[in-house]
Amino acid sequence: MTRLNLDSAADREFALGAERRALGHDDGAFLTRFDKSFPVLHDLFVQLYGERPDGREALAGVVASAAASWRTRSIELKAHDRRREADPDWFQSERMLGGVCYVDRFAGTLAGVREQIPYFRELGLTYLHLMPLFESPEGNSDGGYAVSSYRRVNPALGTMAELAELAAELRLAGISLVVDFIFNHTSDEHEWARKAVAGEPGFEEYYLIFPDRQLPDRYEQTVREIFPDDHPGSFVQLPDGRWIWATFYHFQWDLNYANPAVFRAMAEEMLFLANQGVEILRMDAVAFIWKRLGTSCESLPEAHLLLRAFNAVLHMGAPSVLFKSEAIVHPDEVVSYISPQECQISYNPLQMALTWEALATGDGRLLQQALDRRHALPPGTAWVNYVRSHDDIGWTFADEDAAEFAIDGYLHRRYLNDFYVGRVEGTSSRGVAFQENPKTGDARIAGTTASLAGIEAGDSSGEDRVVLAHAIALSTGGIPLLYLGDEVAQLNDYTYRDDPARAGDSRWVHRPLRPDAAYAARRDDSTTAGRVHRRLTALISARRRCPEFAGNALIPFHTSHPGIVGYQRPGASHTVLVLGNVGDHPIHIDAVTFSGLAPDAHDLLTDQRVQLDGGLTLEPYGFVWLRTRAGA
Ligand code: GLC
């Protein structure tokens, strides 16, 4: 047992020693990357585990895992690594389009997903996120987010070999497979969990287990409740009376990353998934991975160090894989995870929530403010912009941002919740509350895009709202992500209420089975599904044809109307001006507002020429994508 040296060179040979002999003569690429990543990983290990007596062995173990994984990485994936290395900005293209679905609900099995590839191509997907598909407990498994084995696919869906084949087939179709890396917790049925509870040496320290309430009580003074419907606080009691950390459901036990053996074990699971052909790992619940007494136990500095360390390991063993951050937290914290060294891509929960906020209030100022000041990202990174996901909508805007418009964050959230669950006069939204907390007055919103937008209630503006929300997500840069089913206006599914395994979790309302009838009607313009599909696919193809939509550059475009959201997507010779009316009255923007732009514009959606020197009227929930020469 030895501690880490402060000098990385002194630990380098110790870590590489045996591996050097095992690596073949064609493994020069590994050694080149090792040379670059080892000092980084070493430095992170010193910060995370410098005090541990076994730090040096722990680091050597991680290096051994990365080298072993590289040795078994397929020739195809190594070739793919080289292609990505030659084109590191591949995910910034205007051709990128993501889709997300549950394997069972959308296609039954992995074989069923395979049968959907022609549809994914028709839609233009380049990225497919399959919701958690690993072995997990029977009944409630938090939609698969309680993982019992990262190496076995839920047998009802298929096998790991089928997943690897699917990944290869998707890659041939130009689609990158995305799966969750659920690394904050495992299910209580995971082998590590069973061993930890049984006190098996080497495993007790895998989770955070306490003999009594003393420390849990102290932690709970500063930690917020995430799933209060399931259990109060962040701990659950084991049958033997001890308490274990469980941020989410009682059967999802948080891993203890203060133990380097946990880091190594999870790094091995990560490399295993990378070698199945997964191209992007969605870093689930990333904000929660490090705990310290007296803090919120969210987004602590060590969470960032851990992400960097996982990245350094990936760089050695599976260099083309990207991380996607899932941090649904304060906007300052969301961006803190986004960098080439941590998560190269990230959900944009603020833009998503504020799109719904704007549609509820008819006031686009908070959304505009977010585009003005919270959109910029470091080079080499991108947003994933979406309208709905499998999760609830949390109103994660910053109170200090809202205060600038004299909006009280707390009251505003209450209003938005009331609006979306239909408690406000005149709303046509059919949302359902999620995790309503009587202690704090907090709640979040569940519901499909179409039901939240009013289509379920027969509101004649519902379709326009759905299209406008997507027109924003598809034009603000990065990777737009469709919640599959939304392109045919799928409605809420209330059957979860009759199923004991799902009844307690209202998010199931927006996780319907694939709406077969709506898909069959997708070319029939006399149906809602047909009209929404026609309009959304027109947006998708217009985006693909327009190089200015690549990357993340965005210049705000202000009008004097609070109901208008505006921005330009600048390119080399042209710029695309996007304007959207989030309210239910027509708005005329006068000519002078456009005086900085060349007046002769091309409407990318109608393919008509538009003269801006006459001003422009936007209908309720109307929008334009106008391409014009840069500069007046
Ligand atoms: C993420 C998932 C969510 C899940 C939670 C716990 O937030 O998106 O569905 O409940 O993590 O794994």
Question: Cβ(391) to ligand 1 under 6 A?
Answer: yes
Q: What is the pLDDT of residues 474-511, one digit of tens each?
A: 999 999 999 999 999 999 999 999 999 999 999 999 99
**Alpha helices (H) along 230-285:** 260-275
Domain presence at residue 517: yes
Q: What is the pLDDT of residues 348-362, one digit of tens each?
A: 999 999 999 999 999
Q: Are strands 479-483 and 98-101 parallel, antiparallel or unpaired?
A: parallel
DSSP secondary structure string for all residues of 531-562:
HHHHHHHHHHHHHHT-GGGSSS--EE---S-T
Tokens found for residue 40: 């980084």
What separation in Å is there between the alpha carbon of 531 and the centre of ligand 1? Answer: 32
Mutate to test the pocket of ligand 1, among 284, 384, 393, 444 (most ligand atoms within 8 A of CB): 284
Among protein residues, the one with the nearest Cα to ligand 1's atom 3 is 391
Do 494 and 622 fall within a single domain?
A: no
Report the alpha-carbon distance of residue 265 to residue 536 in Å, rounded. 43
Question: Cβ(229) to ligand 1 under 6 A?
Answer: no
Q: Which of 8, 21, 12 lies closest to 60, judged by CA? A: 12
Task: Report the chain's mean pLDDT, rounded to a whole number.
Answer: 96
What would the mean pLDDT of 622-626 be, rounded to a whole number? 98
Quickly tell me which residue has 């989410």 as its tokens: 248
What separation in Å is there between the alpha carbon of 2 and the centre of ligand 1? Answer: 37
Question: Cβ(285) to ligand 1 under 6 A?
Answer: yes
Q: Which of 560, 564, 619 lies closest to 586, judged by CA? A: 619
What percentage of the chain reaches a pLDDT higher than 70?
Answer: 99
- For the cut 80, the answer to whether the pLDDT of residue 190 exceeds it is yes
Residue at a domain's end among 552, 587, 620 = 552
Q: What is the pLDDT of residues 572-582, one digit of tens each?
A: 999 999 999 99
Amino acid at 489: A
Report the alpha-carbon distance of residue 184 to residue 144 in Å, rounded. 14
- For the cut 80, the answer to whether the pLDDT of residue 450 exceeds it is yes
Distances (CA, A) of 488 to 265, 458, 517: 42, 16, 10
Question: Cβ(57) to ligand 1 under 6 A?
Answer: no
Among protein residues, the one with the nearest Cα to ligand 1's atom 10 is 142
Contacts by residues 346-350 (CB-CB < 8 Å, ≥ 24 positions apart): 346/381, 346/383, 346/384, 347/383, 347/384, 347/386, 347/389, 348/383, 348/384, 348/385, 348/386, 348/476, 348/478, 349/394, 349/396, 350/374, 350/396, 350/397
- For the cut 60, the answer to whether the pLDDT of residue 632 exceeds it is no
Do 533 and 574 fall within a single domain?
A: no
Domain CATH code at residue 478: 3.20.20.80
Question: Cβ(248) to ligand 1 under 6 A?
Answer: yes
Q: Are strands 574-581 and 623-629 parallel, antiparallel or unpaired?
A: antiparallel
Give the domain extent around 567.
Answer: 553-628
If pLDDT is split at 50, 70 and 90, which confidence band does 10 have?
confident
Secondary structure of the chain: what % helix, strand, coil (to 5)? 40, 15, 40
If pLDDT is split at 50, 70 and 90, which confidence band does 15 have?
confident
Do 540 and 612 fall within a single domain?
A: no
Ligand 1: atom nearest CA of 507 is: 9
Domain presence at residue 462: yes
Quickly tell me which residue has 């326009």 as its tokens: 464
284 is catalytic: yes
**Residue 512 DSSP class:** P
Cα 470 to chain centroid, rounded: 17
Among protein residues, the one with the nearest Cα to ligand 1's atom 7 is 285
Domain presence at residue 497: yes
What would the mean pLDDT of 259-273 be, rounded to a whole number? 97
- For the cut 70, the answer to whether the pLDDT of residue 25 exceeds it is no
What separation in Å is there between the alpha carbon of 485 and the centre of ligand 1? Answer: 20
Domain presence at residue 113: no
pLDDT of 579: 98
Q: 3-state DSSP call for residue 132?
A: coil
Residue at a domain's end among 508, 525, 552 = 552
Question: Cβ(356) to ligand 1 under 6 A?
Answer: no
Domain presence at residue 292: no
Question: Among the options 19, 284, 487, 505, which is catalytic?
Answer: 284
Question: Cβ(230) to ligand 1 under 6 A?
Answer: no
Among protein residues, the one with the nearest Cα to ligand 1's atom 11 is 285
Run of H or E residues at 601: strand 600-603
Angle of CA points 389, 275, 111, to nearest 5°: 60
Ligand 1: atom nearest CA of 247 is: 6
If pLDDT is split at 50, 70 and 90, which confidence band does 95 have?
very high
Mutate to test the pocket of ligand 1, among 145, 179, 229, 283 (most ligand atoms within 8 A of CB): 145
Do 453 and 580 fall within a single domain?
A: no
Tokens found for residue 197: 């509870």
Residue at a domain's end among 552, 582, 599 = 552
If pLDDT is split at 50, 70 and 90, which confidence band does 338 have?
very high
Mutate to test the pocket of ligand 1, among 391, 506, 508 (most ligand atoms within 8 A of CB): 391
Angle of CA points 304, 307, 313, to nearest 5°: 145
Per the structure, the count of domains in the chain is: 2
Among protein residues, the one with the nearest Cα to ligand 1's atom 4 is 145
Do 565 and 547 fall within a single domain?
A: no
Q: Are strands 322-325 and 280-283 parallel, antiparallel or unpaired?
A: parallel
pLDDT of 6: 83
Run of H or E residues at 589: strand 587-589
Do 479 and 360 fall within a single domain?
A: yes
Q: What is the 3-state secondary structure (H, E, C) of 466-507?
A: HHHHHHHHCCCCCEEEEECCHHHCCCCCHHHHHCCCCCCCHH
Domain presence at residue 521: yes
Do 468 and 499 fall within a single domain?
A: yes
Domain CATH code at residue 569: 2.60.40.1180
Do 421 and 503 fall within a single domain?
A: yes
Question: Cβ(145) to ligand 1 under 6 A?
Answer: yes
What separation in Å is there between the alpha carbon of 447 and the centre of ligand 1? Answer: 16
Q: What is the largest CA-CA distance in the chain?
A: 77
Do 365 and 481 fall within a single domain?
A: yes
Q: What is the pLDDT of residues 384-441, one digit of tens each?
A: 999 999 999 999 999 999 999 999 999 999 999 999 999 999 899 999 999 988 888 8
Report the alpha-carbon distance of residue 374 to residue 610 in Å, rounded. 31
Mutate to test the pocket of ligand 1, among 248, 337, 396 (most ligand atoms within 8 A of CB): 248
Q: Which of 41, 176, 170, 106 lies closest to 515, judged by CA? A: 106
How many Å from the N-terminal Cα to the C-terminal Cα in the chain? 69
More confident residue, 631 or 293: 293
Asked if 475 contacts 569 with a C-beta cutoff of 8 angstroms, the reply is yes
Distances (CA, A) of 351 to 356, 374, 382: 9, 9, 13
Domain presence at residue 60: no
78 Cβ contact list (under 8 Å, min separation 6): 29
Ligand 1: atom nearest CA of 391 is: 9
Domain presence at residue 543: yes
Do 449 and 376 fall within a single domain?
A: yes
What would the mean pLDDT of 32-41 be, rounded to a whole number? 95
Cα 275 to chain centroid, rounded: 21
Do 462 and 575 fall within a single domain?
A: no
619 is catalytic: no
Angle of CA points 189, 130, 367, to nearest 5°: 110
Q: Which of 229, 180, 277 lies closest to 504, judged by CA? A: 229
What would the mean pLDDT of 610-626 be, rounded to a whole number? 97
Question: Among the options 268, 326, 456, 464, which is catalytic?
Answer: 326
pLDDT of 431: 98
What separation in Å is there between the alpha carbon of 490 and the centre of ligand 1? Answer: 22
Do 486 and 376 fall within a single domain?
A: yes
If pLDDT is split at 50, 70 and 90, which confidence band does 5 have?
confident
Question: Cβ(284) to ligand 1 under 6 A?
Answer: yes
